[in-house]
Structure formats: C-alpha cells, structure tokens
C-alpha cells in the first residue's frame, strides 16, 4: 500500500513541478523582454529628446551628420 501512495504522490508532484518550472521560466523571459523594451524606449526617448533630428535620420545618415558636426566645430 505504501508503494501505491508513493507512486500516486510522485505522479502528481512531478508534473506539477514541471508546470511550475515552465511558468517561472515564462515569467523570467517576459521580465527580460520587458527590461529590453524599457531600456530601448528610454534610449530612444533620450536620443530624440537630446537630438531631435536623429529621429528623422537613418543610421547611415548619422555618420554623415557626425562628420558635419565635427567639421563645423573645427
């Protein structure tokens, strides 16, 4: 009888544990994604607030803009 109760107990605990691990894993992935989104949003808002013209430029144009700014400073 003790074997039967042990098997039924592990039969419930093992799947419940796996489900719990999956849920914790999904929550961790969501938190990591949320941190990444918040970080990118803060960087983007900082860049557009500090340099409003950057939001209208493509990445390739930023190098040209940097060169022009350096040329104007000299």
Note down the domain range covering 7: 2-73
Each residue of 24-63: pLDDT tens digit?
999 999 999 998 888 877 777 666 555 555 555 555 555 6
H runs (alpha helix) in 1-74: 2-50, 59-73
The pLDDT score that the predictor gives to residue 39 is 82
Q: The pTM is what?
A: 0.46
Euclidean distance between CA atoms 25 and 18, whole angstroms: 10
pLDDT band at 19 (very low <50, low <70, confident <90, very high): confident
Which residue would you say has higher pLDDT here, 43 or 21? Answer: 21
**Residue 60 burial by CB count (10 A; 0-12/13-18/19+): exposed, middle or buried?**
exposed
Number of domains in the chain: 1
């Amino acid at each position: 009888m003790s074997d039967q109760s042990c098997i039924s107990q592990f039969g419930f605990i093992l799947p419940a544990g796996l489900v719990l691990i999956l849920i914790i894993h999904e929550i961790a992935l969501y938190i990591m994604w949320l941190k990444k989104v918040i970080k990118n949003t803060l960087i983007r808002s900082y860049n557009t607030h500090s340099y409003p013209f950057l939001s209208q430029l493509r990445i390739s144009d930023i190098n040209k803009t940097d060169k022009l700014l350096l040329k104007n400073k000299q």
